[in-house]
Structure 1
Amino acid sequence: MTDRRSLLLAGLAAGILPRAASAQGEWPARPVTMVTGYAPGGVTDLATRAIAERIQRELGQPIVVDPKPGGATSVSATQVAQSRPDGHTLLMGTTSLAINPALQPGLTPRDPRQELAPVGMAYRTPFVLHLHPDVPARSTAELIAYAKANPGRLNFGSSGTGAVNHLCLEMFRREAGIDVVHIPYRGGAPALIDLRAGRIQGMFAAVLEALPVVREGATRAIAISSKDRLPLLPDVPPVAETLAGFDGVFWQGLFAPVGTPQPVLDRLGAVLRVATEDAGLRARLAEQGVALQTGDAAFLARLLATETESWGRLIRDAGIRPE
Structure 2
Amino acid sequence: MSGILPRRAILAGGAALALPLATRAQPSWPAQPIRLVVPFAPGGTTDLTARLIAQGLQERLGQPVIIENRPGAGATVGSLAVAQAAPDGHTLLVSNIASHAIAPSLYRGLRYDAVRDFTHIALIVENPSVLVAAPRFPAATLGDVVRLSREDARGLDIASSGSGSSNHLLIVQFGQATGARLNHVPYRGAGPAMTDTIAGVVPMMADSLPSAAAHLRGGAVRALALSAETRHPAFPSVPTFREQGVDLVSASWFGLSGPAAVPAAVTERLAGAVAALLAEPALRARFAEIGGTVGALGPSGYAAFVAAEVARWAPVVQASGAQVD
How many angstroms apart in 2 are the aligned matches of 1:307 and 1:193? 32
How many angstroms apart in 2 are the aligned matches of 1:217 and 1:284? 21
1:192 aligned to which of 197, 202, 216: 197
- Give the conservation status (yes or no) of the 8 Å contact 1:24–1:86: no
Residue in structure 2 matched with residue 54 of structure 1 by the alignment = 56
> What SS does structure 2 have at the residue aligned with 1:113?
coil
Matches within 5 A, 1:63-78: 63-78=65-80
How many angstroms apart in 1 are the aligned matches of 2:278 and 2:254? 12
How many angstroms apart in 2 are the aligned matches of 1:41 and 1:90? 19
Residue in structure 1 matched with residue 19 of structure 2 by the alignment = none
Matches within 5 A, 1:294-313: 294-313=296-315
CA apart distance, 1:113: 0.7
How many angstroms apart in 1 are the aligned matches of 2:65 and 2:109? 31
> What SS does structure 2 have at the residue aligned with 1:114?
coil
> What SS does structure 1 have at the residue aligned with 2:111?
coil
- Give the conservation status (yes or no) of the 8 Å contact 2:127–2:291: yes
> What SS does structure 2 have at the residue aligned with 1:46?
helix
> What SS does structure 1 have at the residue aligned with 2:52?
helix
1:64-101 Cα shifts (integer Å, max 9, x gaps): 22222223222221222122222222111111221212
1:37 aligned to which of 16, 36, 39: 39
Alignment pair present for 1:108 and 2:100? no
How many angstroms apart in 2 are the aligned matches of 1:217 and 1:255? 34
1:201-243 Cα shifts (integer Å, max 9, x gaps): x553343447646864964x34311335434312324435677
CA apart distance, 1:37: 1.0
How many angstroms apart in 2 are the aligned matches of 1:249 and 1:275? 22
Q: Tell me which moved more, 49-58 or 34-43.
A: 34-43
> What SS does structure 1 have at the residue aligned with 2:178?
coil
> What SS does structure 1 have at the residue aligned with 2:36?
strand
CA apart distance, 1:273: 0.8
How many angstroms apart in 2 are the aligned matches of 1:64 and 1:58? 14
1:261 aligned to which of 263, 284, 287: 263
Q: State how many pairs are aligned.
A: 294
Computed over aligned residues only, the root mean square deviation of the Cα atoms, in angstroms, reads: 3.7
Alignment CA distance shift 1:171-1:50 (3 Å): same
Matches within 5 A, 1:56-205: 56-96=58-98, 97-109=100-112, 111-130=113-132, 134-135=138-139, 137=141, 143=143, 147=146, 152-153=150-151, 155=156, 157-159=158-160, 160-174=162-176, 177-187=177-187, 188-189=193-194, 192-193=197-198, 203-205=205-207
How many angstroms apart in 2 are the aligned matches of 1:29 and 1:300? 26
How many angstroms apart in 1 are the aligned matches of 2:229 and 2:291? 14
- Give the conservation status (yes or no) of the 8 Å contact 2:106–2:323: yes
> What SS does structure 1 have at the residue aligned with 2:116?
helix
How many angstroms apart in 1 are the aligned matches of 2:181 and 2:196? 14
How many angstroms apart in 2 are the aligned matches of 1:71 and 1:105? 12
Q: Tell me which moved more, 274-283 or 306-315.
A: 306-315
- Give the conservation status (yes or no) of the 8 Å contact 1:157–1:191: no
1:293-323 Cα shifts (integer Å, max 9, x gaps): 2222233223322322233222222211339
CA apart distance, 1:118: 0.8
CA apart distance, 1:247: 3.3
Residue in structure 1 matched with residue 9 of structure 2 by the alignment = none
Question: Structure 2 stretches of 5 or more lacking a match?
Answer: 1-11, 17-22, 188-192
- Give the conservation status (yes or no) of the 8 Å contact 1:151–1:179: no
Alignment CA distance shift 1:150-1:83 (3 Å): closer
> What SS does structure 1 have at the residue aligned with 2:89?
coil
> What SS does structure 2 have at the residue aligned with 1:108?
coil
1:275 aligned to which of 274, 277, 290: 277
Residue in structure 2 matched with residue 13 of structure 1 by the alignment = none
1:179-204 Cα shifts (integer Å, max 9, x gaps): 1122122432366258x68x85x553
Residue in structure 1 matched with residue 30 of structure 2 by the alignment = 28
- Give the conservation status (yes or no) of the 8 Å contact 1:36–1:76: yes
- Give the conservation status (yes or no) of the 8 Å contact 2:231–2:239: yes
- Give the conservation status (yes or no) of the 8 Å contact 2:118–2:258: yes
Alignment CA distance shift 1:243-1:83 (3 Å): farther
Alignment pair present for 1:225 and 2:227? yes
Alignment CA distance shift 1:225-1:314 (3 Å): same
How many angstroms apart in 2 are the aligned matches of 1:218 and 1:119? 35
